Amino acid sequence: MPDFARAQLRRQWINFGLFLGPALVLLFVFFVVPVVIDLVLAFTDMGRTLAVGKFTLENFERMFTRDTRLLGALGVTFIFVLATLGIFNV
């Protein structure tokens, strides 16, 4: 590969990094990191003291088996989704 082609390719990669780099950093900081933190917290046994206990499925077991408010919350969410779609698509 000639020197000018190598220099042009290097310049293209630098431009690629300069344009895409900030977007990737923002995506990582404001999307990937919070999702990972939420997933870790969802599987922990954390009390009111915010002390992280063991990693269990107890939160999800309690939510799906013993919590009577789940179906009501899902119903209200479904109504809001339908209302929002109706308002913004008309």
The whole-number pLDDT of residue 48 equals: 75
Give the Cα separation of 48 and 31 in Å (integer).
26
User: Per-residue pLDDT averaged across 68-78, rounded?
Assistant: 93
pTM of the model: 0.63
Q: Which of 58, 31, 33, 30 is nearest to 44 (CA)?
A: 58
Beta-ladder partners of 55:
44
User: Per-residue pLDDT averaged across 23-39, rounded?
Assistant: 95
pLDDT, tens only, 56-70: 888 888 888 988 899
Domain boundaries, the chain: 3-65
